[in-house]
Amino acid sequence: MNNATRRAVIAGIGSYVPEKVLTNQDLERMIDTSDEWIVSRTGIRERHILEDNLTTSDMAVEAATRALRHAGCPASKVDLVLLATVTGDYVFPSTACIVQEKMGLTNAGAFDIGSSCSGFIAALSTGAAFVQSGNFQNVLVIGADAISRMVDCKDRNVCVIFGDGAAAVLLQAGHSDRGILSTYIKSDGAGCRHLYQPAGGAKLPPSLDTITNRLHYIKMDGRETFKQAARAMTSAAFEALKSAGLEVSDVDLMVPHQANIRIIQAAVQRMGLSMDQVAVNIDRYGNTVAASIGLALDESQQNGRIEAGDHVLLVGFGAGLTWGGIVLRWGV
Ligand code: COA
């Protein structure tokens, strides 16, 4: 196949959320908050929380198994596993290797991508580049996070917004007008302390002091993150569209990272889209970090909101700070 016309196409997609649901009413009984506050400030009504006996790789395996089944691709044909996560089973090795072992993907290479809430965009862009270059034929891209494990249940600013989940796509090579048309990735490390987990890494290894001071939990400057998010998502959307040679008016469906309904509304307004052109499921899942865009994309294709030939715009934003966008034409 001529690499100039070779594109990565989404040949299969799947997602998974844990069974256990934590509602705003449950949170009202745990901390000083209210359903009214959470819904009006974030749009979230409930989120799914991973059971204690399961971990990130378990959710990743469920989503990836569904994606392979959807594509009709046997495990033996997968060449590469890319797992976007900031809540891997261990600090090392890559949780992608654990997924590889659990799924019997014996012919694949595997590594993690830690780009937080932009992780799905980063992993999908990386996978697309590998497919387009001709290096790999079947690339399994997964976004999975058990972020509830890093959330301080005493921090009402943080614990109401996050939930757990996983999503996966199988990328294959295609040579029609379908597939990934453009990718855009950007970051600004000056914003790294707006949203981070201070302890547990090489800078502050685990100690009695870090545990006593709750430094293994997410710390977030909500207002600053909010301010940057709408601007960055809009910029990512315009850059990805420009590089695909398309206009906002060409977009059939935008699938944004689900962090806060007000961030999504602000970005959508700046872009001149209307909310009925946008996939929103934050009310049921909250912010599922690297899973969120894939989860919303999978729901959209399952409920018939995407048809073959549609232009779909994926947009993400997250810790780092990082942001990015992908434009694709749906179908194989
Ligand atoms: N329940 C009730 N009150 C809460 C609360 C909660 N869960 N969390 C915060 N508050 C209070 C604050 O303490 C503050 O009270 P005060 O005025 O008495 O000090 C008040 O609500 C307003 O706080 P503020 O931080 O201005 O609220 P906000 O409108 O900015 O909403 C967030 C807070 C976290 C929902 C919002 O900033 C946000 O979503 N930011 C982006 C976070 C994000 O998306 N992170 C992930 C990026 S990928």
Q: What is the CATH number of the domain that holds 202?
A: 3.40.47.10
Residue 33 CA: nearest ligand 1 atom is 1
Whole-angstrom distance, CA of residue 304 vs CA of residue 264:
21
Cis peptide before 22 (omega within 30 of 0): no
- Whether 118 is in the pocket of ligand 1, judged by its Cβ within 6 Å, is no
Q: Radius of gyration over alpha carbons of the chain, in Å?
A: 19
- Predicted local confidence at residue 1, as pLDDT: 47
The pLDDT assigned to 3 comes to 53
CA of 156 to the centre of ligand 1 (A): 8
The SS3 assignment for 134 reads coil
Catalytic-residue membership of 97: no
The verdict on 57 and 126 lying in the same domain is yes
**Beta strands 179-187 and 165-174, pairing class:** unpaired
Residue where one domain finishes, among candidates 176, 207, 236: 176
Nearest residue by C-alpha to atom 30 in ligand 1: 223
Return the pLDDT at 38: 98
pLDDT in tens, the chain (332 residues): 455 589 999 999 999 999 999 999 999 999 999 999 999 999 999 999 999 999 999 999 999 999 999 999 999 999 999 999 999 999 999 999 999 999 999 999 999 999 999 999 999 999 999 999 999 999 999 999 999 999 999 999 999 999 999 999 999 999 888 999 999 999 999 999 999 999 999 999 999 999 999 999 999 999 999 999 999 999 999 999 999 999 999 999 999 999 999 999 999 999 999 999 999 999 999 999 999 999 999 999 999 999 999 999 999 999 999 999 999 999 98
What element of type H or E holds 27? helix 24-30
Position 71 in a domain: yes
Question: Are residues 195 and 220 in contact, defined by beta-carbon separation less than 8 angstroms?
Answer: yes
From CA 142, how far away is CA 137, in angstroms rounded?
Answer: 16
111 lines ligand 1 (CB under 6 A): no
Return the pLDDT at 175.
87
End-to-end Cα separation, the chain, in angstroms: 16
* 211 and 310, same domain (yes or no): yes
Q: What is the pTM of this model?
A: 0.96
The closest alpha carbon to 298, from 69, 95, 87, belongs to 69
As a whole number of angstroms, the distance between CA 140 and CA 154 comes to 37
- On whether residue 2 sits in a domain, the answer given is no
Q: Are 76 and 107 in contact (CB under 8 A)?
A: yes
Cα–Cα distance measured from residue 315 to residue 232, given in angstroms and rounded to the nearest whole number: 9
Number of Cβ atoms within 10 Å of the Cβ of 176: 11
Look up residue 20 and give its two tokens. Answer: 């256990």
What residue numbers bound the domain in which 288 lies? 181-329
Last residue of a domain, one of 176, 193, 214: 176
Q: Parallel, antiparallel, or unpaired for β 46-48 and 21-23? A: antiparallel
Are residues 156 and 258 located together in one domain of the fold? no
Q: How far is the CA of 300 from the centre of ligand 1 (A)?
A: 29
Q: Are residues 94 and 22 in the same domain?
A: yes
132 and 89 belong to one structural domain: yes
CB of 259 sitting under 6 A from ligand 1:
yes
Q: Are 141 and 171 in contact (CB under 8 A)?
A: yes
